[in-house]
Structure 1
Amino acid sequence: MTEVSALWMRRDLRLTDNRAMHEMQQWVEAEEGRQWFLVFHLDPEFYSFSCPHHDYFFQNLEKFRKECDDQHIQLYFLHGTAEKAFAYLKEKVPGLTHLFFNEDEAPPAAYRDEQVKTEMQRRSVETHVYKDAHFHRSDEVKKKDGGLYSVYTPYYRAWRQLEKEQPYKCRLDLISSRQARPSLPQKAAYGKLSSYLKHYGETWKHTGEEDGHKRLETFVEEIAPTYHETNNALSQDGTSRLSAYLKTGRLSVRTIYQALSEQLEEGNPGAEAFVSELAWRDYYNMIHATHPELKNKELKEAYQNLPWEYDEKRLQTWKEGRTGYPVVDACMRQLNETGWMHNRGRMIAASFLTKDYLIDWREGERYFAERLIDYDPSSNAGGWQWAASTGTDAVPYFRVFSPVRQSERFDPQGDYIREHVPELQGVPKKYIHTPWKMDEQQQKEYNCILGQDYPEPEIDHSVQRKKAIEMFKGD
């Protein structure tokens, strides 16, 4: 009987440098007559409601399907719970003997994978799982005593010393000729994706694998050399803008590392600074894999019962970018308008919600989870716990970001603010960070009437800072 394998695509939507695809290819080549096919599982948890995060991913998925068509590769779809979907797959493809996929170590994806592996084992299907989304698995970067790190800096030093894998070659010409053509009904399954795509909001551009490679080329040539100087500047195109391509798997970390290899060998500080940012992905993956409660529970036990305030009006004000603090509002409006926010902006917005509005960090984490097109559950939750001072290696609770100081440092001319908060376009540099200091005559002169065109702040940062510190101290 002909052996057939399925390659399960997930957050690795690419036909180049794909570890599971490479390993499946090796398996197919090992014996004459072996065949394979490509499959994607549509989880109802994601297609049951629309948000920018889901919209972006599913548009990438549809683009990937078309890219597969161009290579004469058919992408099959499953739907329903993972366990039932793969049980159905085996029933419809009785010759299925192997399932290849790239691993997820953090929940809830890790739980899903265990269910699928158990179901496949019960049905005599071997599963082959590979590291792909990260440079190193959660248990690879260890201290000398064999334990895992809880502080990033020593983790990074150890991480940097470990060898990084080279990109994996995928021979599409070979594997496309060895495809199985299973009798797998597609009307209902693909219909779920098709129906979702008919109802999404904004259409996202540059979602192809080729677009990811073009952006990487631009970053390496034009931005990476000075990344260490520009990556915190809110108004400059000084960041990589690769995070969404990493999220969907349009680019692999190996391909990015290889593209930077020459600059890294030369000791370029910009390339080194960017690689340290990539290491944060591995670090938070390790934290999440070893602390499954990361998204819902403070890692620091002392702060698990903080008396967070719950103010629906203020939470909505923050979401809409109407707090009266220009840099915070610019950050939130950038998120709402584009599905992306500058990393420095994420820290500013998160600090404001938790330390100025004193609202539970989980509220912000959930909002970002819906709005960010590059949403990564581990990095997002880790970042929110960092800003809230509740996570591992987090900012100390007594170091409270001043939104005005952050604005003056990272958007000194106010260009970022004016781009995203048009009500303030006529306000000069002197007042762009603190418009509430304008008198009535100046407000009229600069076409920005407070309380009418732009809101006045509801809170005083200096007062809220003291409250936040008192809350953490238990006073």
Structure 2
Amino acid sequence: MKTVMWFRQDLRLDDNKALYNVFHNLNDEDEVLLIFQVNPKQFINQSYNHDAFFSSVKKFRTDLNTQGHLQIIYGDPIESFKTLKKSVSDWNKIYFNEDTSGYGAKRDLIAIEFFKENKISFHSYQNNYLHGVKEIKKENGEDYKVFTPYYRKWIELTKETPLKVKFNKSKIYSEVLFPTDEQKFDQLLKKINHPFDKVGSETAIQSMKKFINNDICEYHKSRDIPSLDKTSHLSNYLRTGELSIRTLWNEIEKQNYSEGKETFKKELCWREFYNMIYTNYPNQKETPIKEQFMFIEWENSQEKFEAWKKGETGYPIIDAAMRQLLKSGWMHNRLRMIVSSFLVKDLLIDWRWGEKYFQKMLIDYDPASNIGGWQWAASTGTDAAPYFRIFNPTTQAQKFDPDGKYISKYVPELVNLPQNYIHQPDKLSKDQQQKYKMFLGETYPYPIVNHKERRKNAILEFESSKSKYRSEQ
């Protein structure tokens, strides 16, 4: 009989719950099919996000094929499984790690119905988080909507330890089942515009160890300074599953106490809190969680949106962050909050525009972990971000990039400015512009909005939406 291991966002062999249980429950006569299903409807073309993920899949496939074969099935998931069942009639079991939110959750529900109809026993596991979405509840059984009490309960719960998978390559079915599908996948890989080489589970483990050994102790101080670049850079490995959350937690817990360590653990809890929120609000990418903000009248200036995307807003910290994103597909976490606030509050551009742009551009985009986080940037999510919390991009830059090192790296036209002007080049006189060879409106734009005025305007708009919502109840 044939047992299928269906890989998705779990691109590793070790500490993989579904794979562990495949070999743990395998009968002597069974063979294992290792499957990766490719659905073209999920592709985001010309996208860092797309290219980073499939660079990881490519690496995983290459590594795995030294011990067996990763079967590629290409197309609609259910049609792919129908074809697989016709080709492998004695397939009677499938193992996979569950998705509880977004597209993955919907796909799994449909797939499970297919498995039931075809008498294929299915075994799914909570693998991507330390605690599943149903594990942490209030005393009355309700879900938490505020982070702090959720964290208090989360931190006290026992965390699972990593699993050692006894991978038996002699049990792997290695004959290529669908050569045409594999050719399609090879063509997809050739079209990657931004190949990423820092991929694979070994690289993920090395990155984890580097962060823990060098940076975690001071994480609470250094994480907000973009020029230091001392965040963990592990989010994409967690997204792809090249790094196990249990392995990461286990390595962290081996370290001596430090404030940085405790701060990072809290960040991992935020990841799980947002996964719970996304599961409970599956439409959060399109509909405000806080219904009182459904009546905001967005200005949605296409011209200003393009300026924001290109890093041409006249606010140096915004422009540096957006140019970093354009150049690398990554952005420092503090800056993600600042540019999000600026788009939604200063420009009054619909948060869904920003969500879609981040989904395309960020290599680690994951709405289930709030990497994107536009509900919170817009204050339409939980109470984590009140609507009147509006970042001032200039004071944020002065606080977190005081010497302008980060700005200078990504906005080179400002590199010659003295420290007291690099955050506000619009304050330069004509003579000073001549002196520093930096001309407003020519080499660098004037600010496209006045932050002080736009802050007042945004608050009024949010309050107006609340009033309209109350009047319709």
Superposed pair shares fold, TM > 0.5: yes
Matched position secondary structure for 1:5: strand
Match of 2:36 in 1: 40
C-alpha spacing 1:48/1:402, structure 2 compared with 1 (3 Å): closer
Supply the distance in 2 between the matched residues of 1:308 and 1:300 (Cα, whole angstroms).
16
Matched position secondary structure for 1:177: helix
Supply the distance in 2 between the matched residues of 1:32 and 1:395 (Cα, whole angstroms).
55
Matched, 1:109 2:101: no
Matched, 1:330 2:331: no
Matched position secondary structure for 1:305: coil
Match of 1:52 in 2: 48
Match of 2:471 in 1: none
C-alpha spacing 1:390/1:216, structure 2 compared with 1 (3 Å): same
Match of 1:23 in 2: 21
CA offset at residue 47 of structure 1?
Answer: 3.9
Match of 1:206 in 2: 198
Matched position secondary structure for 2:25: helix
Matched, 1:143 2:141: no
CA offset at residue 381 of structure 1?
Answer: 7.0
Supply the distance in 1 between the matched residues of 2:172 and 2:184 (Cα, whole angstroms).
24
Match of 1:6 in 2: 4
Matched position secondary structure for 1:121: helix
Percent identity over paired residues: 40
Supply the distance in 1 between the matched residues of 2:365 and 2:459 (Cα, whole angstroms).
30
Supply the distance in 1 between the matched residues of 2:178 and 2:230 (Cα, whole angstroms).
47
Matched, 1:275 2:272: no
CA offset at residue 359 of structure 1?
Answer: 0.5
Supply the distance in 1 between the matched residues of 2:200 and 2:323 (Cα, whole angstroms).
26
Supply the distance in 2 between the matched residues of 1:48 and 1:313 (Cα, whole angstroms).
23
CA offset at residue 183 of structure 1?
Answer: 6.3
Matched, 1:100 2:107: no
Supply the distance in 1 between the matched residues of 2:86 and 2:417 (Cα, whole angstroms).
66
From 173, 177, 184, the counterpart of 2:170: 177
Cα pair 1:92 1:183 within 8 Å, conserved? no
Matched position secondary structure for 1:38: strand
| Root mean square deviation, CA, Å | 1.4
Match of 2:253 in 1: 261
TM-score (norm 2): 0.96
From 448, 451, 470, the counterpart of 1:458: 448
Match of 2:470 in 1: none
Supply the distance in 1 between the matched residues of 2:370 and 2:320 (Cα, whole angstroms).
20
CA offset at residue 299 of structure 1?
Answer: 0.6
From 62, 65, 68, the counterpart of 1:69: 65
Match of 1:343 in 2: 333
Supply the distance in 2 between the matched residues of 1:33 and 1:289 (Cα, whole angstroms).
39
From 402, 421, 430, the counterpart of 2:420: 430
Matched position secondary structure for 1:108: helix
CA offset at residue 377 of structure 1?
Answer: 2.2
Match of 2:159 in 1: 164
CA offset at residue 382 of structure 1?
Answer: 6.8
Supply the distance in 2 between the matched residues of 1:141 and 1:389 (Cα, whole angstroms).
24
Equivalent residue letter for 1:10: R
Supply the distance in 2 between the matched residues of 1:427 and 1:193 (Cα, whole angstroms).
49
C-alpha spacing 1:459/1:325, structure 2 compared with 1 (3 Å): same
Cα pair 1:59 1:207 within 8 Å, conserved? yes
Equivalent residue letter for 2:32: W
Count of residues paired in the alignment? 465
Equivalent residue letter for 2:169: S
C-alpha spacing 1:163/1:423, structure 2 compared with 1 (3 Å): same
Cα pair 2:359 2:372 within 8 Å, conserved? no
Cα pair 1:284 1:382 within 8 Å, conserved? no
Supply the distance in 2 between the matched residues of 1:17 and 1:147 (Cα, whole angstroms).
31
CA offset at residue 182 of structure 1?
Answer: 5.6
Match of 1:398 in 2: 388
Match of 1:384 in 2: 374
Cα pair 1:166 1:258 within 8 Å, conserved? yes
Supply the distance in 2 between the matched residues of 1:305 and 1:195 (Cα, whole angstroms).
45
Match of 2:293 in 1: 303
CA offset at residue 393 of structure 1?
Answer: 2.1
Cα pair 1:58 1:193 within 8 Å, conserved? no
CA offset at residue 48 of structure 1?
Answer: 6.8
Matched, 1:291 2:281: yes
Match of 2:183 in 1: 191
Taking the TM superposition and a 5 Å limit, the aligned residue runs for 1:340-379 are 340-379=330-369
CA offset at residue 93 of structure 1?
Answer: 0.8
From 224, 238, 246, the counterpart of 1:246: 238
TM-score (norm 1): 0.95
